[in-house]
Amino acid sequence: MSVSIPNFSTMKALVVHRSDANVEALVSQLRRLNIFAICQWPPRNRDFAAVDMIFFDTDNGFDGMFGWSGSPPIPLIAMVGSETPGRLEWAIGQKPCAYMTKPVGSKGVFLALVTAFNAFEANAQREAAMLALEDRLRLRPIVVKIIFGLMKSLDIDDDAAFRILRNESMQRQMSIEECCSELAVSAAAQHKLILSQTPHGKIAQHPAKTR
């Protein structure tokens, strides 16, 4: 994946941290990047659709602080002060995309943002690829069933049946697995596909091909 430098101007950041010098330094840097900061402790609104990123305190954070399950819906940047095992374990469990150490100084926010947004995009792509693979594996028995059906109906070998499915999926502009999933729930669609492979739309007997 290529690294990109997002334009953070006009974005909104939620800062989940008690008001102190760290928050003041963070907000100052965010303003220089033209990022509007909303500071809350603890987070009062569980609808995070209005913000683009979250900076959060790992020293005083608690379970259920954000309210979502699974992966965060937006990039998280952890603000780390205490390096005790318990606090670090909790921080890592929130799945942040970048870290900042406290005390927060006059720089470091831009680097954290670039790191966080690129890591968030990489994580999203990786999760999407894993879901796609899981779907393909889940549908594999259906693909085999459709291939066997074509082999039996058209008296062809598995390579020829697979080529038919590949062409059909290309015409439908979908994966072979998705195509087979649709065919599996429609006997009419299967029959139409079989007829399209026979002369004059009639199922004829052909010598089986040998491998």
Residue-level pLDDT at 89: 96
Task: Name residue 20's amino acid.
Answer: D
Q: Does 122 share its domain with 18?
A: yes
Which CATH number belongs to the domain containing residue 188 in this structure? Answer: 1.10.10
C-alpha 3/C-alpha 119 separation (Å) is: 9
Burial class of 162 by CB neighbour count within 10 A (0 to 12, 13 to 18, 19+): middle
Q: What is the pLDDT of residue 200?
A: 57
Q: Do both 122 and 169 map to the same domain?
A: no
Residues 195 and 115 in one domain: no
Q: Looking at this protein, which amino acid is placed at residue 48? A: F
Give the CATH number of the domain where residue 41 resides. 3.40.50.2300
- Domain total for the chain? 2
The candidate with the shortest Cα–Cα distance to 184, out of 154, 137, 147, 158, is 147
* Under-70 pLDDT residues of the chain: 1-2, 200-211
Domain span at residue 27 reads 12-128
Residues 165 and 67 in one domain: no
In 3-state terms, what secondary structure has residue 93? helix
- What pLDDT is stored for residue 14 in this prediction? 96
Together in a domain, 104 and 50: yes
Asked if residue 90 belongs to a domain, the reply is: yes
> CA-CA distances (angstroms) from residue 92 to 17, 112, 179, 185?
17, 16, 40, 44
